[in-house]
Amino acid sequence: MSTTDNTESLVQLHNAGLREQGRWRVRGISLRVRAGEIVTLIGPNGSGKSTTAKLALGLLTPSEGRAERRPGLRVGYVPQALAIDAAMPMSVDRFMRLSNRLDENTLVEALESTGVANLRHEPVTALSGGQYQRVLIARAIAREPDLLVLDEPVQGVDLPGEAALYQLIADIRRERGCGVLMISHDLHVVMAATDQVVCLNGHVCCHGAPRAVAEDPAYQALYGKLSPALAVYTHHHDHEHLPDGSVRQIDNNASPGCGHDHG
Amino acid sequence: MDDFFVRALLAAGGIALVAAPLGCFIVWRRMAYFGDTLAHSSLLGVALSLAADVPLIPAVFTVSLAVALTLVVLQRREWVSTDALLGLLSHASLAIGLVVFALLERPSAYLAEMLLGDILTVSQRDIVLIFSVALAVAVVLLLAWRPLIAMTVNHDLAEAEGQNPVLAHVLLVVMMAAVIAVAIQIVGVLLITAMLIIPAVTARRFAARPETMVLFAVGFAVLATQVGLWGSLQWDTPSGPSIVVASLAVFLVSLAVSRGRHA
């Protein structure tokens, strides 16, 4: 994987914080997404995952610290909640072309890759939650972005579909070399397809390669403290899902680049 | 046909051409109360133009725009709900307008004209002004169409994907203030929002894309103004309410037609 230090940095937060109504929503966030790299933000509800993604996207301006984006960066974004008013007639086809022109092939390919090409002429408001997420992901991909920002991209998608979509995201990263900043509330699901994990709880509680984070006492304390059941579930899967070889490989690749003191 | 009536038909038709697309945005973005606020503040503009002896349309435009931009700024502070802010600005400007009117000691017929619209008041200069404004609004709509629609669907998504939703919003507000300023003589303060909204609502059932909805709305709006003005002349009724009644009639007929089609 191409996570060496000389790979181009797409977006970077330097000790960024956001203060709203006298309260720090997040503080001291540093992270970097490079081309060809998948960075996953995890953390419990209210831990500032979406806020961090919005800081990275420039939708929110940090109250302290800095956010840097490569000039001319082309972004594909799947926001967490995107309700379209029923008063607005909007077919899937028209929705795909919302922010840019699209040629026929790109449009169809993107919809096919997420398995919703048959819904092309349906009104967006008639889609189920899972179908809508697939359309949102297809939109983001069709823009041929340098950076994909996916906020809980598989919410409402059925389990087999979930795995297929994560595989798709990993494939797109490999084929196109784009960077991916992804939000998930659960580490074990995204573990296999991610290079860097940043665990948030208002601040960065730990980060590094997926296994390093999973074994970090701060991560275990956070998930253990918040939900013992989830912690057991997560850790159970950590060990099941990671054959030794692949774990070592991720670890070796990530540690020189990330330079933090895990594991 | 009398000259004044031809002028009124032309003026109302020109207004309908651009009022209808803006009405679609009001419906999509749930800005009906905002439209009312602009209309109410336009009465303040009328009163001030009389008091200061300046031309009516520029005065109304300036006051409506000032109120609209005040609202845009206050909204960003989020210390009180938009609904409450609108209530404050809408009724405060209406009240001040009425007080100034009373102080000027004009005949009450003039106030009624401003509230309900009057087709006798349209001059040749007004026609030129109306069509200039209509042309300018049409050009802005065409140039800014993609960001306007993208912003209407989702502010964050539009911004992340390289559009400028804040500029689009300001443009929308400026266009609304302009159209309300030129429409007030014919439609009147009370019912201007209805003239904007009803054709858009009528068009909703006929459209699968926002662009189609706008085209239908323009057609319905032009039809309603012509029929309404004809009724106004025929039965000597005020032009604003007559146009809105005609608009409602078009809506009811369209309802019956689309019911019939589905049955």
Q: Is residue A166 in a domain?
A: no
Mean pLDDT for the stretch of residues A180-184: 91
The predicted pLDDT at position B1 comes to 60
User: What b/e readout covers B122-155, taking b as 16+ CB neighbours within 10 angstroms?
Assistant: beeebbebbbebbeebeebbeebebbbbbbbbbb
Q: Is residue A34 in a domain?
A: yes
- A17 and A136 part of one domain: no
A-B C-beta contacts closer than 8 Å:
73
**Window from B80-84, B92-96, B154-158 with minimum mean pLDDT:** B80-84
A90 touches chain B (CB under 8 A): yes
Q: Give the rounded percent of residues in chain A with a pLDDT score beyond 70.
A: 80
**Window from A221-230, B49-58, B138-147, B205-214 with minimum mean pLDDT:** A221-230
Mean pLDDT for the stretch of residues B220-238: 93
Q: Which residues of B touch A67 (CB under 8 A)?
A: none
Q: Does position B85 have pLDDT exceeding 70, yes or no?
A: yes
**Window from A164-168, B146-150, B238-242 with minimum mean pLDDT:** A164-168
The predicted pLDDT at position A45 comes to 83
Contact flag A89-B204 (C-beta cutoff 8 Å)? yes
Which of A54, A75, A90, A124 to substitute to test the interface with B, most B CBs within 10 Å? Answer: A90
- A40 and A153 part of one domain: yes
Number of domains in chain A: 2
What's the pLDDT band for B184 if we cut at 50, 70, 90? confident
- A154 and A216 part of one domain: yes
Mean pLDDT for the stretch of residues B45-60: 89
Mean pLDDT for the stretch of residues B86-103: 90
Do residues B46 and B184 touch, judged by C-beta distance below 8 A? Answer: yes
Q: What is the pLDDT of residues A137-148, one digit of tens each?
A: 999 999 999 999
The predicted pLDDT at position A4 comes to 47
Mean pLDDT for the stretch of residues B177-188: 89
Q: What average pLDDT is seen over chain B? A: 90
Q: What is the pLDDT of residues A93-136, one digit of tens each?
A: 999 999 888 899 999 999 998 989 999 999 999 998 888 999 99
Q: Is residue A165 in a domain?
A: no
The predicted pLDDT at position A206 comes to 79
Contact flag A99-B158 (C-beta cutoff 8 Å)? yes
Mean pLDDT for the stretch of residues A48-53: 92
Tokens of B183: 């429409």
Do residues B228 and B18 touch, judged by C-beta distance below 8 A? Answer: no
Q: Does position B72 have pLDDT exceeding 90, yes or no?
A: no
Distance, in Å, from the CA atom of A37 to the CA atom of A50, rounded to the nearest integer, reads: 19
Minimum-distance CB partner of A57 among B30, B160, B207:
B160
Find, in chain A, the residue whose alpha carbon is nearest to that of B78.
Answer: A21
Q: Give the rounded percent of residues in chain B with a pLDDT score beyond 90.
A: 56
Contact flag B161-A54 (C-beta cutoff 8 Å)? no
What's the pLDDT band for B143 if we cut at 50, 70, 90? very high
The predicted pLDDT at position A149 comes to 95
User: What residues are paired with A14 via a beta bridge?
Assistant: A66
**Window from A47-61, A175-189, B41-55 with minimum mean pLDDT:** A175-189
Q: Which residues of B touch A84 (CB under 8 A)?
A: 153-154
The predicted pLDDT at position A219 comes to 77
Q: Does position A92 have pLDDT exceeding 80, yes or no?
A: yes
- A262 and A183 part of one domain: yes
- A153 and A40 part of one domain: yes
Q: Does position B75 have pLDDT exceeding 90, yes or no?
A: no
The predicted pLDDT at position B109 comes to 79
Do residues B182 and B57 touch, judged by C-beta distance below 8 A? Answer: yes
ipTM higher than 0.95? Answer: no
Q: Which residues of A touch B165 (CB under 8 A)?
A: none
Task: Give the CATH number for residue A51.
Answer: 3.40.50.300
Distance, in Å, from the CA atom of A4 to the CA atom of A203, rounded to the nearest integer, reads: 25
Q: Does position B125 have pLDDT exceeding 90, yes or no?
A: no
The predicted pLDDT at position A215 comes to 75
The predicted pLDDT at position A209 comes to 78
Cα–chain center distance at A170: 11
Q: Which residues of A touch B213 (CB under 8 A)?
A: 89
Which of A88, A122, A133 to substitute to test the interface with B, most B CBs within 10 Å? Answer: A88
What's the pLDDT band for A13 if we cut at 50, 70, 90? very high
Q: Does position A252 have pLDDT exceeding 90, yes or no?
A: no
Contact flag A99-B162 (C-beta cutoff 8 Å)? yes
Domain ranges of chain B: 3-190
Contact flag A59-B208 (C-beta cutoff 8 Å)? no
The predicted pLDDT at position A5 comes to 54
3-state helix, strand, coil in chain B (%, to 5): 85, 0, 15
Q: Does position A260 have pLDDT exceeding 50, yes or no?
A: no
What's the pLDDT band for B241 if we cut at 50, 70, 90? very high
Domain of A60 in residue numbering reads as: 1-74+147-159+177-263
Cα distances from B83 to residues A252, B80, B174, B185, in angstroms, run 56, 8, 20, 27
- A3 and A121 part of one domain: no
Q: A103: distance to nearest CA of chain B, Å?
A: 16
- A132 and A218 part of one domain: no
Q: Which CATH architecture has domain B3-190?
A: Orthogonal Bundle (1.10)
Q: Is residue A168 in a domain?
A: no
Q: Is residue A209 in a domain?
A: yes
Mean pLDDT for the stretch of residues A228-253: 33
- A117 and A153 part of one domain: no
Contact flag A99-B152 (C-beta cutoff 8 Å)? no
Contact flag A94-B209 (C-beta cutoff 8 Å)? yes
Distance, in Å, from the CA atom of B63 to the CA atom of B47, rounded to the nearest integer, reads: 10
The predicted pLDDT at position A90 comes to 95
Mean pLDDT for the stretch of residues A234-252: 32
Mean pLDDT for the stretch of residues B68-74: 85
If DSSP codes are grouped into helix, strand and coil, which group holds residue A66? Answer: strand
Contact flag B160-A82 (C-beta cutoff 8 Å)? no
Q: Which residues of A touch B152 (CB under 8 A)?
A: 88
Mean pLDDT for the stretch of residues A23-42: 91
What's the pLDDT band for A230 if we cut at 50, 70, 90? very low
Mark which of A144, A168, A200 sits at the end of a domain: A144
- A183 and A99 part of one domain: no
Q: Does position B26 have pLDDT exceeding 50, yes or no?
A: yes
Sequence-ordered strand ranges (E) for B146-263: none
Mean pLDDT for the stretch of residues A10-38: 91
Contact flag A59-B149 (C-beta cutoff 8 Å)? no
Tokens of A12: 């970077």
- A28 and A95 part of one domain: no
DSSP run (H or E) holding A89:
none
Contact flag B204-A87 (C-beta cutoff 8 Å)? yes
Taking an 8 Å Cβ-Cβ cutoff, which residues of chain B contact chain A?
27-30, 146, 149-150, 152-154, 156-163, 204, 207-210, 212-213
